[in-house]
Amino acid sequence: MLISPVLKERLQHRQCVAFVGAGFSMVCGMPNWHSLVAALLEEARGSFLSPETSDALTACDFFLRHGSLAMAANFLRDALPPGELDRMVRERFSISVFHGAQAPKKRQMTSRLKSLVVGPWAGILTTNYDELIEYGLNRWKRSSTVITTEVGLGSALCVPPSPGFFFAKIHGSMAGDRIVLSSDEYDRVYLGVPRVCDFLSAVMLRYHLLFLGCSLEDEIVRIRRRLVVEYEGRIPTAFALLPRSEENIVRAPWLRTRAAIEPLLYSVPRGSHQAVDRFLAEAAKIDVVSGGENLDTRAELRRLPVGARVERVGAVNRSLLALVAQQPRHALLHLSLMSLVDIKGRVLRSLCDISPEERAYRVFFLVSIGLLREEHADGGARSYKIPAAVTKVLRDGV
């Protein structure tokens, strides 16, 4: 299981921000950075054959073979007419690539995308240009603040972490004017104007980042190394979901000590990265248990229809509701719920695995949004009753 108890606790308390890289969307046919530059070079060779263009493309090929992708992109920009490179990039990251994917790959991408956007994140950041995450947010109706410009980053962290979250695109978007691809553009974003560096530093000091589908680019690691030095290692630990390769095994200790990044290594049988899907699906099932939900959040939930409320509270809370619904007169004493006395046979393992204190918090939360009613039985004992409308939703299915 890739989600350790420590990471699970961070997710439960909405202390994590997902940082999504190109590997996330490759399953539906979108390229990673290396394959993107290689494909652009191949297309350019077939279209532009002047001597100056040929020299630039030769230089591009040299840097591509030596792994200097941003420098290779510089020579692509030199070789192609203004706007042509962006057009070629947009074709490869269009949402139509997702819609045109083969059915098994499209289903896998859809499931992966849904797990991401419904997960208990405080925010999502991405260096990707595509609009898959926006598509997911719109489809599954996740409240969020979408930021696609560097200037907009200044207000991202003001978004209340519940029920919405911030979503920011660091390297531009298909919907924007420019994308970050070449070393000149990297220098502008990370060195010329410090907006992105300042924003990422603030995020890294406030949240635990979880890198998904990322190669851990030099600029991102450099920011974390600087923060580790400046704060003598006392910064929130980041996590990185990485394939178990010889390179990643060797650099894992360095990432821990120098960049405060904890690698989560997974096996890649026959080149399959389905561990990413399992990880995200597991994260999506984690219920937020922090006491940090504000009154506005609870008021918003109370205004929702009963079915929508039941769907929003998560699997563990639904198990609590189902337990109460199974009792005589659809009511359960507080002491019985806390100790699970005499109701063991009706209790799901998920309820046994959480502490009485957490069960109490969850019940109070469900009362506050109207899915349970607090009553007093004979002798003043406190009990909880489930409304008939909620019982019907549970019986019919959410």
Walk across the sheet containing 261-266 and list its strands. Answer: 144-147, 165-169, 123-126, 16-20, 208-212, 238-243, 261-266
Mean pLDDT within 376-380:
60
DSSP designation for 206? H
| Strands 373-376 vs 382-385: parallel, antiparallel or unpaired | antiparallel
pLDDT at site 49:
62
Asked whether 386 and 378 are in contact (CB, 8 A), the reply is: no
pLDDT at site 259:
93
Asked whether 329 and 386 are in contact (CB, 8 A), the reply is: no
**In this structure, which amino acid lies at residue 277?**
D
Short-list 144, 111, 112, 125, CA closest to 18:
125
How do residues 187-204 score in pLDDT, each as one tens digit? 676 666 678 888 889 889
How do residues 83-111 score in pLDDT, each as one tens digit? 777 788 888 888 888 899 999 999 999 99
**In this structure, which amino acid lies at residue 349?**
R
Question: At 167, which helix (H) or strand (E)?
Answer: strand 165-169
Whether 270 shows a pLDDT value over 70: the answer reads yes
Q: What is the CA radius of gyration of the chain?
A: 25
Give the model's confidence band at 125: pLDDT under 50 very low, under 70 low, under 90 confident, else very high: very high
Longest Cα pair distance anywhere in the chain, in angstroms? 94
- 314 Cβ contact list (under 8 Å, min separation 6): 285, 286, 287, 288
Short-list 236, 233, 268, CA closest to 249:
268
> Domain 5-29+101-284 is of which CATH architecture?
3-Layer(aba) Sandwich (3.40)
Give the model's confidence band at 377: pLDDT under 50 very low, under 70 low, under 90 confident, else very high: low
Give the model's confidence band at 346: pLDDT under 50 very low, under 70 low, under 90 confident, else very high: low
Domain ranges of the chain: 5-29+101-284, 33-95, 295-396
Mean pLDDT within 113-131:
89
**In this structure, which amino acid lies at residue 82?**
P
* Alpha carbons 115 and 183: distance in angstroms, whole number: 33
122 vs 142: which has the higher pLDDT: 122
Question: 106 burial class (0-12, 13-18, 19+ CB within 10 angstroms)?
Answer: middle
| Strands 208-212 vs 238-243: parallel, antiparallel or unpaired | parallel
Asked whether 273 and 22 are in contact (CB, 8 A), the reply is: no
How do residues 14-30 score in pLDDT, each as one tens digit? 889 999 988 899 888 88
Whether 294 shows a pLDDT value over 60: the answer reads no
Mean pLDDT within 206-224:
87
Mean pLDDT, the chain, whole residue set: 81
Topology of domain 295-396, CATH:
Arc Repressor Mutant, subunit A (1.10.10)
* Alpha carbons 337 and 211: distance in angstroms, whole number: 38
Evaluated on CA atoms 6, 367, 313, 335, the torsion sign reads: positive
**Secondary structure (3-state) at 210:** strand
Helical spans, DSSP H, in 181-305: 183-187, 195-206, 218-230, 246-259, 274-284, 295-303
